[in-house]
Amino acid sequence: MTDLIIKEALIKYSKYCTYREVCGSDLKKKILNDKKLQVTLTEAEKIIDKLTDEGFINEERFASAFVNDHFKFNKWGKIKIRYQLRSKGIAEDHIQSALNSIPAADYKDILKELAVNKWDKLESEDDIHKRKMKCANYLSSRGFESDLIFSELEKL
């Protein structure tokens, strides 16, 4: 019976993996929460291993896609992206490689864009130091490095 369940799950989740990049930890949660299949942890791990062996799951590819999407679309900084990837159990070398793929000029452009937008929204704040700190806190919450943040704020 378990072989049948594993085969069914492999078919279902190989299709799922062809539509989006997924990491093993996220897929394991999805498989374990699948009420229809009702697989055990051991079976879920077998499914993950098989999908990884067949190339449906690839941590390096996932890290690159995650970094690209969250930087371009969510405008997250490297600190926040690194934290999220670590929480998904992605290997540090894959994380670093993916983060290195972000062009430095694009990174600074996004930081500048976010800083200027936030600075303009805080125009009602009369105290310049409070305004800078609010802007810095915002940029920090987006995952940007403090040295880059304060460098950018000095230009405003």
Residues 111-131 pLDDT 10s: 999 999 999 999 888 888 999
- Per the model's pLDDT, the better-predicted residue between 38 and 16 turns out to be 16
- pLDDT confidence tier of residue 37, bands split at 50, 70 and 90: confident
Give 9-33 pLDDT, tens digit per residue.
899 999 999 999 999 999 999 999 9
**Rounded to whole angstroms, how far apart are CA atoms 139 and 144?**
6
Identify residue 77 by its one-letter amino acid code. G
Evaluate whether the domain defined by 60-100 bears CATH number 1.10.10: yes
Distance set, CA 135 to CA 3, 31, 48, 90, 151 (Å): 56, 41, 42, 31, 12
Q: Where do the domains of the chain lie?
A: 2-57, 60-100, 104-155
Tell whether the model's pLDDT for residue 1 goes beyond 70.
no
- pLDDT confidence tier of residue 105, bands split at 50, 70 and 90: very high
Count of Cβ atoms closer than 10 Å to residue 60 Cβ: 14
Give 70-86 pLDDT, tens digit per residue.
999 999 999 999 999 99
